[in-house]
Structure 1
Amino acid sequence: MSTDTQQETRLHGGRLIARRLKAHGVTKLFTLSGGHIFPIYDGCRDEGIDIVDVRHEQAAAFAAEGWAKVTRTPGVAAVTAGPGVTNSISAIASAQSNNSPVLVLGGRAPALRWGRGSLQEIDHVPFVRPLTKLAATPDTTAEIPGLVDEALATAIAPHSGPTFLDFPMDHVFSEAEEPASDATLPTPHLGAGADGNAIERAGALLAQAERPVIMAGTNLYWGHGEVALRALVEQLGIPVFLNGLARGCVPADHELFFSRARGTALKGADVALVIGVPMDFRLGFGDSFGPETELIAIDVAEPVREHPRPVAAELYGALPATLDALRVAAAGGPDRSGWHEQLRKVEEEKHAAEAIELNDERAPLHPMRVYAGLAEVIDRNAIIVCDGGDFVSYAGRVVDSYEPGCWLDPGPFGCLGTGPGYALAAKLARPERQVVLLLGDGAFGFSGLEFDTLARHGVNVVGLMGNNGIWALEKHPMEFLYGYSVAAELRPETRYDEVVRALGGHGELVERPEQLRGALERSFSAGVPALVNAITDPTVVYPRKSNLA
């Protein structure tokens, strides 16, 4: 090889990073500017990767997770050293709890001066490692490409999740030979299903069930299991309930989809397929099911925690293959129409009971009335992003999803401030769709200035705020427990809509129900990010039942 050719193949570390990202299909880098990562920007600029900058590093990492959630491909964020990395920690933890495939790239003080007190010098890896599947620092510039390949592959391998790499400043500014590489990311969902003996045991159990039920969650979505699930549901006549990212994997208007009858169904089932969802607080640590319910646990890989109660069968492997094999093994079975009718009756009764709140004409507004107004203007494939406490909990009851990837909530880590980052990524990934950001006034305080980010990048997300002037998720339970509340008040009726106007967006104030539709329609047609600031009644108490601890 000639000297000229050698020179042509030597690239600085940031360009080596960008080349590997591009090779694996990465098109967006979410970031907040920092000198330690300038070479990564230079590389992405040369490779045609869009650089999307935000106002706080947690928003960059949340946007990376939002991208992953909408596209089912790795989302990538780059943050500067020290506080840049520490500011991203909550988002990394959120990605861990949601099994979101995310790669966070961090700057790092120069290796040549390590330990001498360089700007923002801190060893990130020890405190990031517990939150990630892989956390590492390359020792040389030449190690960078292979480590990027490894981090992306690790992020998407079951159980998917976040990975982290930081790059000493001297390494990313230095050059190295670009190695020949044909490394490609795996497609785990196309692999082998669960063990055949386990399929046979589960199939025999399910074939005899008179009152089967399916409870599916986020890993159903990560495992691309929706087509196989729907075939199983329809052929075997099994009622299905969905939470997390699984919402929309069976359309909300499917005859075997249920939501309001979940308590009745899970308690009354003789066999339950628990697919891609842990039995955590959302399922009462297993107690949401009846004491006699036989459980079949199905997931993309073995669980990271032990099941809180015994299960009759465990099926771990690629979900399409697993669910297809189970459908065949459980063919036949008794007539289940009576079970369907029982659950449909409960579903309809609860729908009817909700109508009172949905049509409540009080001012300030009942949160349910806000969602009745939203239902009049959103498209079937709208992407709903959730960022809040009680206001968003009401949405979980009444806002329906019809396609996969249309419901983005914080997940079991429950971190506020996720919404603007998620919404930014969702609209960039799906610009043709409505993206609606549901948020409380409390959540706005975490990352409301990201409306500046949305405006600068021309991302016309519509925010819908339930503004009750309190931390309702804490105020009402504390008053129930103690008869008083502290640290639970916000400034009532703050004009967050005017804040959004000042940041370059469109703002609407809604104080009465009849103002809702017009405000929403103007916001969707504004062509800029918008916020509808709906003043809601602080005395409304969400009917909370879940045991959080």
Structure 2
Amino acid sequence: MATDTTSETLHGGRLIARRLKAHGVEVIFTLSGGHIFSIYDGCREEGIRIVDVRHEQAAAFAAEGWAKVTRTPGVAVLTAGPGVTNGMSAMGSALMNHSPMVVLGGRAPAMRWGMGSLQEIDHVPFVAPLTRSAATADSPAAIPGLIDDALAAAVGAPGGPAFVDFPLDHVFSEAPDPANAPGVLDGSVGPAADEAQLSRAIELLRSAERPAIMAGTDLYWGHGEDALVKLVEQVRIPAYVNGLARGCVPSDHELAFSRTRGQALSGADVALVIGVPLDFRMGFGAVFGEDTKVIVIDRVPSERPHPREIAAELYGGLPAILEALADGVGPGSDTTAWVNGLRAAETEKLAGEQAEMSDDRSPLHPLRLYKELIGVLDRDAIVIGDGGDFVSYAGRVMPTYEPGCWLDPGPYGCLGAGPGYALAAKLARPDKQVVLLLGDGAFGFSGMEFDTLARHGVNVVGVVGNNGIWALEKHPMEFLYGYSVAADLVPETPYDQVVEALGGTGSQVREPGQLRGALEKALSEDGPSLVNVMTDPTVVYPRRSNLA
């Protein structure tokens, strides 16, 4: 780390870029705007890649996608006014996903503030509720410290977005560079857990005959996957994962389960909830049995009160906590009968899916599509879900073997996130297959980003489940009312031709026999490709969860 205190005078955009580079930032995602030209100039001089998109929403989602794939902060640079507001959905997504990202905004000049400059609006009041920190530079000299503060807020547990905007006159003016290299921030470390709570958890787990683990996104942010596998194997605990924890226990591990989550969590005598909020995905705590002792483990305490009684709470560095549990419990009780029972039930459910996965109907059943997709993907392929029921089916059956290989919008549920995620994923991991699963409704949010993928030569494979409806809304509405409104799209829209017009390649699939060849061809292309698969609109996803 540099200790030289001498400095040189640089313009504000160069100060920003130099600070980003010192923190390890390699790329920014943006859409061109005059308020941020100085930042572009700085990034060009400092060797930070500038990736431009077609809508600021995609730039901000790409920044979150970079964070999700690399576990390092992603950065979006958005012009003033509508540039910033267009990025707000991604900020909300990153807040709920605890994704470390920094949004840098342009801003009307301070010297003219209140006089009605182009796109003059105070971003901070409406961005603040969606971020961990939000600030405006009040001088060029303040810029380096604000970049440091924003990155620290984004990376520090629980993690999330941070925002800084720069008045036009400040970011184009000069100030001394402090010349102290801050170094790359590490969000994987944390304090030690409370000893009394740790002892309580060890005691409960040591005597548990029917333990279960539910792990989620914060396990991934806390780099807890290796320690989790050690705990699972040593104590012989069946493990279930969701969100970014998918792949932290490989899907083919002998103690990895997915189809029997309700049975396991309701029947467990002790449940470890690791990096998962007790929100709608967990039935607000009702997924557990009345007598289940729930142990909550996370990087920091929940920002909301727990909806049910908790037996022990462990907060801090996840690898150390999970290692301490494994070492403290030792072999524990004999869980063989419990594990074998769940495995038998899991096998039965898997067998029940085979009929749908082998269904040769036309238009296709979504599970028939996923059967073929599984057969052509590498073990470390990155799969991105952007859709409703179409992606829900993928979540049921697509295996994940490594951390950072399954990306979906998370609890904020914002459609249109996928192309930005896919762009960032392929730039961050160029040697991996990147497949973007799109509902036909979701394609309408960000389909123009296939132009972005083509211009930058990014070979992402999109797969559209084209059933011509908003299935997540249409089927429940018909169940409730006997009719649906605002839930239909144009059947068989040729989205593949849209992608071809934007510089990619495309194909249509109407019969199951056409699918594998189309997928293999798309994966071999040098640029982006789209496989437009006609799926059956009468297929109803078996939804049970209470979203409210």
TM-score normalised by L of structure 1: 0.98
Instruction: Give the match's secondary structure for 1:73.
Output: coil
What is the number of residues matched between the two proteins? 545
Q: In the alignment, is the contact (CA less than 8 A) between 1:29 and 1:50 conserved in 2?
A: yes
The 2-side partners of 1:427 and 1:260 are apart by 30
- Does structure 1 residue 331 correspond to structure 2 residue 330? yes
The 2-side partners of 1:314 and 1:391 are apart by 36
Residue 507 (structure 2) aligns with: 508
Pairwise CA distance, 1:193: 2.6
Cα displacement string for residues 469-509 of structure 1 (whole angstroms, at most 9, x for unaligned residues): 00000000000000000000000000000000000001010
Q: In the alignment, is the contact (CA less than 8 A) between 1:251 and 1:403 conserved in 2?
A: yes
Residue 294 (structure 2) aligns with: 295
Matches within 5 A, 1:26-425: 26-425=25-424
Pairwise CA distance, 1:185: 4.3
Q: In the alignment, is the contact (CA less than 8 A) between 1:199 and 1:329 conserved in 2?
A: no
Residue 3 (structure 1) aligns with: none
The 2-side partners of 1:17 and 1:469 are apart by 46
The 2-side partners of 1:7 and 1:42 are apart by 23
Q: In the alignment, is the contact (CA less than 8 A) between 2:217 and 2:276 conserved in 1?
A: yes
The 2-side partners of 1:230 and 1:141 are apart by 48
Structure 1 unaligned segments of length 5 or more: list them: 1-5
Residue 517 (structure 1) aligns with: 516
Residue 528 (structure 1) aligns with: 527
What code does the residue aligned with 1:274 have? V
Q: What's the C-alpha RMSD, in Å, of the aligned pairs?
A: 1.2
The 1-side partners of 2:118 and 2:215 are apart by 47
Instruction: Give the match's secondary structure for 1:274.
Output: strand
Pairwise CA distance, 1:332: 3.4
Residue 546 (structure 2) aligns with: 547
Change (3 A) 1:530 1:202: same
Cα displacement string for residues 153-190 of structure 1 (whole angstroms, at most 9, x for unaligned residues): 11000001000000000000000011132323442423
Q: In the alignment, is the contact (CA less than 8 A) between 2:295 and 2:310 conserved in 1?
A: yes
What code does the residue aligned with 2:12 have? G
What code does the residue aligned with 2:474 have? K
The 1-side partners of 2:525 and 2:422 are apart by 17
Residue 474 (structure 2) aligns with: 475
Pairwise CA distance, 1:191: 3.5
Change (3 A) 1:8 1:315: closer
The 1-side partners of 2:316 and 2:299 are apart by 5
Q: In the alignment, is the contact (CA less than 8 A) between 1:462 and 1:529 conserved in 2?
A: yes
What code does the residue aligned with 2:229 have? R
Pairwise CA distance, 1:195: 1.3
Q: In the alignment, is the contact (CA less than 8 A) between 1:153 and 1:185 conserved in 2?
A: no
Instruction: Give the match's secondary structure for 1:215.
Output: strand
The 2-side partners of 1:185 and 1:47 are apart by 16
Pairwise CA distance, 1:326: 1.3
What code does the residue aligned with 2:152 have? A
Q: In the alignment, is the contact (CA less than 8 A) between 1:458 and 1:528 conserved in 2?
A: yes
Q: In the alignment, is the contact (CA less than 8 A) between 1:152 and 1:185 conserved in 2?
A: no
What code does the residue aligned with 1:352 have? A
Instruction: Give the match's secondary structure for 1:189.
Output: coil
Q: In the alignment, is the contact (CA less than 8 A) between 1:192 and 1:321 conserved in 2?
A: no
Moved over 6 A (4+): none
The 1-side partners of 2:198 and 2:359 are apart by 49
The 2-side partners of 1:10 and 1:461 are apart by 42
Pairwise CA distance, 1:334: 1.5
Structure 2 unaligned segments of length 5 or more: list them: none
Cα displacement string for residues 118-170 of structure 1 (whole angstroms, at most 9, x for unaligned residues): 00000000000000000000110000001100100110000010000000000
Instruction: Give the match's secondary structure for 1:508.
Output: strand
The 2-side partners of 1:213 and 1:108 are apart by 50
Instruction: Give the match's secondary structure for 1:105.
Output: strand
What code does the residue aligned with 1:28 have? V
Pairwise CA distance, 1:528: 1.2
Identical-pair percentage: 69
Residue 440 (structure 2) aligns with: 441
Pairwise CA distance, 1:417: 0.1
Residue 13 (structure 1) aligns with: 12
The 1-side partners of 2:180 and 2:410 are apart by 36
The 1-side partners of 2:479 and 2:422 are apart by 34
The 1-side partners of 2:349 and 2:295 are apart by 28
Instruction: Give the match's secondary structure for 1:537.
Output: coil
What code does the residue aligned with 2:346 have? E
Q: In the alignment, is the contact (CA less than 8 A) between 2:22 and 2:184 conserved in 1?
A: no
Q: In the alignment, is the contact (CA less than 8 A) between 2:35 and 2:106 conserved in 1?
A: yes
Pairwise CA distance, 1:435: 0.1
What code does the residue aligned with 1:453 have? T
What code does the residue aligned with 2:403 have? P
Pairwise CA distance, 1:388: 0.2
Q: In the alignment, is the contact (CA less than 8 A) between 1:358 and 1:372 conserved in 2?
A: yes
What code does the residue aligned with 2:224 have? G
Instruction: Give the match's secondary structure for 1:250.
Output: coil
Q: In the alignment, is the contact (CA less than 8 A) between 1:250 and 1:402 conserved in 2?
A: yes
